[in-house]
Structure 1
Amino acid sequence: MIGLENGGVEEIEVVVAHSERATLRVGDVFLKVDVDPRRTEVEVQAIALAPIPTPRVLWREPPVLAISAVPGTALGRLGEPSPASRAAWVAAGAAVRALHDAPLPPWPGPDVDALAACLDDECGRLLAGGVLPRDLITRNREVAQAAMRPWKPVFIHGDLQITHVFVEDDTVVGVIDWSEAAPGDALFDLATLTLGHEEHLDDVIAGYGADVDLDVIRGWWSWRSLIAVRWLVEHGFDPSLPGCELDVLRARM
């Protein structure tokens, strides 16, 4: 925390900071600094297009984007029990369905071949660096293959962690951090939302209101965790905390 003597706010909160991005909270305003202007442009456009509650874009002065805080509280955090009710998780599933039913955003999305190549490359790095046990990598790489198939693209959030979904009175009142939004696989959003919170998958699916291939969901859980582990370690985060990425990978064994 950094105290301010002037400017009408009591403190600045560093929400997240690493070599690629930083987010600061100043009162009810979030200041997002990103080295990649493309991500900022995507966020601004996605917020304008999304048919669900989002923050307001207040101003943009590259590389800084200022957005409003959203009401409510986050659906939960990875590695901790969710404080949200079952009804809130159902509402989150319904909000995701509303997003996926919207017209596609007019920019390209992830390509399955590129994502498969990314998985192969990352597994090779994990094996070469001895970051994870070989059998853990091998098994989760096999599980992840279920997600490496063609899909009909929908408007996805692209980084729908539970910390990005805010609820109040069992209603979704805000979804934040839209820099990865694109046309993509609907099940990727559902898997990201329930990563580490498998006990709420049925609630999310109930709200989503469509049949879901559970093998693909598990595939995306493995894919996302394998891709994330090395990056998290290199940026000062701990994927080995209870309920986090390593536990997600171990659950597939």
Structure 2
Amino acid sequence: MMADMDVNEVEVVVAHSERATLRVGDVFVKVDADQNRIDVEVEAMTTAPVPTPRILWRKPPALALAALPGSALGRLGEPSAASPAAWAAAGAAVRTLHDAPLPPWPGRSRDEFASRLADECEWLVAHDVLPAEVVTRNRRLAETALRPWTPVFIHGDLQVDHVFVAGDEVTGIVDWSEASRGDAHFDLAVLTLGHPEHLGDVVAGYGADVDHDLVRAWWSLRCLTNVRWLAEHGYGSPDGFPEVAVLRSQP
């Protein structure tokens, strides 16, 4: 969300059958077919105790947000140019969010995760996306994440490119439509997915006990349950997905 674009240029940031995000100058316009997601996003941004984009206006089905200064912490599948201190600052921001009062709406249950995990693993094997042994190995690992947890206020989709930094400071976190109550390790896993070299930096900034094995388990679960959605929404062949590379690399 850099502020250097010609105001006359329209950039399609994200576009698929469920939602689209357009950028015009320093304004981002999100159009979502599901107004519940927009409701959650607005409430989460107004209550989360971390920097978020300024809401300019809302007129269903659209939401306009001001650009954030700085640049994304990184991109999935690409090396991050951000400093270890910036990654640690991201961890500290996540801890602030997790220490906040719970949002009033629930998140996904362990049963919901388990059901989707089973369905997606079957799809991956049936469509020969990955060898059965890779799916089985990752499924066993993913299932260890589905233990009882104490819920916290989670972002719910804390991809590395949803965290913006300037230097070593977090300037804002975007895309709050999946915010809910959930497992703290889930946010930490999504943030560090594909960037295991920065897990230590994030945990240092987070400043609390973090089970690295649970983070790795959520890496497997996140990847196993995302591949089909990406394939069916026009993101290319699964062979090129960073998520598939993560699944192949998991021990």
Alignment of 1:223 with 2:204, yes or no, is: no
Q: Is residue 240 from structure 1 mapped to residue 247 from structure 2 by the alignment?
A: no
Q: Note the residue ranges of structure 2 that are not aligned, 5 or more in a row.
A: 1-5
Contact 1:195 1:221 in 2 (8 A): yes
* Whole-Å separation in 1 of the counterparts to 2:240 and 2:96: 33
Matched residue type, 1:240: D
Classify the secondary structure of the residue corresponding to 1:147.
Answer: coil
TM-score scaled by length of structure 2? 0.95
* 2:176 is the counterpart of 1:189: no
**SS in structure 2 of the partner of residue 22 of structure 1:** strand
How far residue 201 of structure 1 moved from its aligned partner, in angstroms, is 0.1
C-alpha contact (below 8 Å) 1:79/1:241 kept by paired residues: no
C-alpha distance in 2 between matches for 1:240 and 1:159: 23
Q: C-alpha separation between the residues in 2 aligned to 1:9 and 1:116?
A: 45
Distance in 2 (CA, whole Å) between partners of 1:184 and 1:208 is: 17
Helix, strand or coil at the partner of 1:32: strand
Q: Which moved further from structure 2: 182-191 or 113-122?
A: 113-122
- Matching of residues 30-45 of structure 1 within 5 Å: 30-45=28-43
Residue 125 of structure 1, CA deviation: 1.8
Aligned pairs for 1:68-107 (under 5 A) are 68-107=66-105
On the 8 A contact 1:96/1:208 being kept in 2, the answer is yes
Q: Is it true that 1:141 corresponds to 2:145 in the alignment?
A: no
Q: Residue in 1 aligned with 2:26?
A: 28
TM-score, normalised by the number of residues in structure 1: 0.94
- Equivalent position SS for 1:167: strand
Count of residues in Structure 1 that have an aligned counterpart in Structure 2:
245
Q: Deviations along 1:114-163, whole A, 9 cap, x unmatched?
A: 11111011111222222221111111001101101110000000000010
Query: What per-residue deviation string (whole Å, max 9, x for no partner) do you get for residues 142-198 of structure 1?
Result: 110110111000000000001000001200001000000001000000000000000
Does the CA-based 8 Å contact 2:7-2:26 persist in structure 1? no
Whether the 8 Å CA contact 1:131–1:230 is kept in 2: the answer is no
- Report percent identity of matched pairs: 66
> Aligned-pair distance for 1:9?
2.7
Deviates more, 1:130-139 or 1:69-78: 130-139
Q: Which amino acid is 1:171 matched to?
A: E
In structure 1, list runs of 5 or more residues that go unmatched. 1-7
| Residue of 105, 112, 115 corresponding to 2:113 | 115
Task: Quote the Cα distance in structure 2 between the aligned partners of 1:79 and 1:108.
Answer: 31
